[in-house]
Structure 1
Amino acid sequence: MTDEFVDRSLEEVRFWSRIMKEHSLFLKLGFNCDDTKLINEADRFYNIFEDIENRALAFTSDTDPQQIYDFNQVVSNAVSHIWAFKRHVLGLIIQCKILGNNFPLLVDHVSREAAYFRKRLKQLNTGTLDPLPDAVINENVFFLRIMADHAKFINHLLDPSERKLVEQARDFSHDFDQLLFQAQDLDSMRPQSQTQPLLDQFVDQNRVSVRQLRDFKKTAHDLIEACRIKSIIPPLLADHVFREASHFLEILDSFEIALTSSK
């Protein structure tokens, strides 16, 4: 285990523990007031991931790798439990056992992110990160679907009278669905599709679209925070999806650097 293992672990845990914490809050806000057991469970997970986030922020690059390895194991266990909670909530909603304001797709969405986080922790602890050509496709298949979901959520949470923004969100949803389909096609053509020119074009194309979506989310967040548009989107949720787009863009930037250096 090396310093790189420590740095990458802390980067992942700091980012995703905050995301998991906020998922707990968003789910809680979407439950009916009489769903007290689910509300209390969401509160419990909020506190768990807030503690994990604070612990991760207290570590440094000089921390003993074995300590980070053990910490990753603890975090992975917590992520497994919140994943199970999210899937349980999804089942209750789909079976009409609870009502509220949590879209089934949103609950599925946040559970996919928990599964992704858990997988990343396992890869880090076992030293089995994907080779670059596989990572390029796998990360894009995952995050392009996340971005498409975000556009759909924004579309449905804006007031219908915000016609221009609703139209923009709908356009982003369509665009990212198409990008996802292209990524899935590239995935199914592996390994023949993993040529340098194809991967270069793939990353470049997606970076342009993700940057545009990130900028749209930033504008929407600023407008929501200033109470200049009509919606039921909390400012924290707007910031949450903006940070995820920024995170994806950072991954794409790192891919571009790695692909360029491998030529």
Structure 2
Amino acid sequence: MRLTDAFVARSLDEIRFWSRIMKEHSLFLRLGFRCEDTQLIAEAMQFQATFEDIERRSHAYSLNTDPSTIREFNCEVQNAATHIWAFKRKVLGLILRCKLPGGTNFPLLVDHVSREANYFRNRLDELNCGQLEPLHDAIIDENVFFLRIMADHAKFIGHLLDPSERKLVEQAREFGHEFDQLMFQAIDLSSMRPQSQTVPLLSQFVDENKVSVKSLRDFKKTAADLIEQCRIKSIIHPLLADHVFREAERFLFILEMFDRSLSGHHVNKKELLF
């Protein structure tokens, strides 16, 4: 794959996935504000519209689009991602200073969505600068990031299920603990760099995480289906259930690409586009 082709494919893949995520974050934050938080609600609605437009426009481009056009688009989207990151951090500060009593946005949730916005804007900057991490560094850093995201998801699910759904709540707590442990294991591997970056260690690391992510992905899918069918008691928005399922799918996709790369297989550029 030519570098220009890979740049276009990777940029469109990141924007198509994460712009939808940012759009949905805006909705979830808006739903968690109080009725009197009219300014915050208006800002969230504006971000929702902005990322909906970005998502729509990203699908108008193709793998044959001029890389310079995509580079300009990346800059525009990175600017939007930076602004929504700043908005999320502002909201987190208000919550932690007890300025929004009675709202339903958990501080950890707001921190969580801001971490994802930061990840998105940094990735676009890396793409435009042509400075993506080497494979062995990316394997560790992506896992540290996504394992924490998965652990957060499990905790959110456990808190948003009705307490009477005891079995599902317990399952969510177990997943939260499991992914905390996997995250700490990834941090340990990171601190042992570069000596820890051998193919056997990284392959085992990726394989182990794939097994756990598949289990969590399946749990999320089951929960999403039950919520959609109104078969369990919770205050989880159906779109939120689908949202966390898609992020698990994304992580699993990344792990599969790492697995193939460690095995010496090339990734086709079309595989990068959902």
Under a length normalisation based on structure 1, what TM-score does the superposition of the two structures give? Answer: 0.99
Matches of 1:261 and 1:7, distance apart in 2: 20
Q: Secondary structure at the match of 1:58?
A: coil
Q: CA deviation at 1:4?
A: 1.2
State the one-letter code of the partner of 2:182: L
| Counterpart check, 1:260 vs 2:269 | no
RMSD: 0.7
| Counterpart check, 1:64 vs 2:66 | yes
Q: Secondary structure at the match of 1:11?
A: helix
Q: Secondary structure at the match of 2:62?
A: coil
Q: Which residue of 1 aligns with 2:96?
A: 94
Q: Which residue of 2 aligns with 1:114?
A: 117
- Which structure has the higher relative contact order (CA within 8 Å, separation 6+)? 2
Q: Secondary structure at the match of 2:175?
A: helix
Q: Secondary structure at the match of 2:157?
A: helix
Q: Secondary structure at the match of 2:263?
A: helix
Q: CA deviation at 1:127?
A: 0.7
Matches of 1:59 and 1:165, distance apart in 2: 42
Q: Which residue of 1 aligns with 2:108?
A: 105
Q: CA deviation at 1:3?
A: 1.2
Matches of 2:134 and 2:83, distance apart in 1: 29
Counting only pairs closer than 5 Å after superposition, residues 149-228 of structure 1 correspond to structure 2 as 149-228=152-231
Matches of 1:251 and 1:119, distance apart in 2: 17
Q: Which residue of 1 aligns with 2:78?
A: 76
| Counterpart check, 1:137 vs 2:153 | no
Matches of 2:183 and 2:127, distance apart in 1: 26
Aligned length, in residue pairs: 262
Q: Which residue of 2 aligns with 1:28?
A: 30
Matches of 2:94 and 2:231, distance apart in 1: 36
Matches of 1:147 and 1:86, distance apart in 2: 19
State the one-letter code of the partner of 2:240: L
Spell out structure 1 runs of 4+ moving beyond 4 A: none
Matches of 1:136 and 1:105, distance apart in 2: 25
1:65-110 residue CA offsets vs partner (Å, 9 max, x unmatched)? 1000000000000000000000000000000011200000000000
Matches of 1:189 and 1:73, distance apart in 2: 35
Matches of 1:15 and 1:200, distance apart in 2: 26
Matches of 1:118 and 1:80, distance apart in 2: 6
Give structure 1 stretches of 5+ with no counterpart: none
Q: Which residue of 2 aligns with 1:241?
A: 244
Matches of 1:76 and 1:123, distance apart in 2: 11
How much identity, in percent, do the aligned residues show? Answer: 72
Matches of 1:24 and 1:248, distance apart in 2: 22
1:33-90 residue CA offsets vs partner (Å, 9 max, x unmatched)? 0000000000000000000000101111111110000000000000000000000000
Matches of 1:238 and 1:98, distance apart in 2: 25
Matches of 2:57 and 2:130, distance apart in 1: 23
Matches of 1:72 and 1:88, distance apart in 2: 24
Aligned to 1:231, which of 208, 230, 234? 234
| Counterpart check, 1:52 vs 2:54 | yes
Q: Which residue of 2 aligns with 1:12?
A: 14
Q: CA deviation at 1:223?
A: 0.2
| Counterpart check, 1:85 vs 2:87 | yes
Matches of 1:95 and 1:231, distance apart in 2: 28
Q: Secondary structure at the match of 1:119?
A: helix
Q: Secondary structure at the match of 2:34?
A: coil
Matches of 1:129 and 1:211, distance apart in 2: 26
State the one-letter code of the partner of 1:29: L
Q: Secondary structure at the match of 1:2?
A: helix
Matches of 2:192 and 2:210, distance apart in 1: 21
Matches of 2:68 and 2:56, distance apart in 1: 19
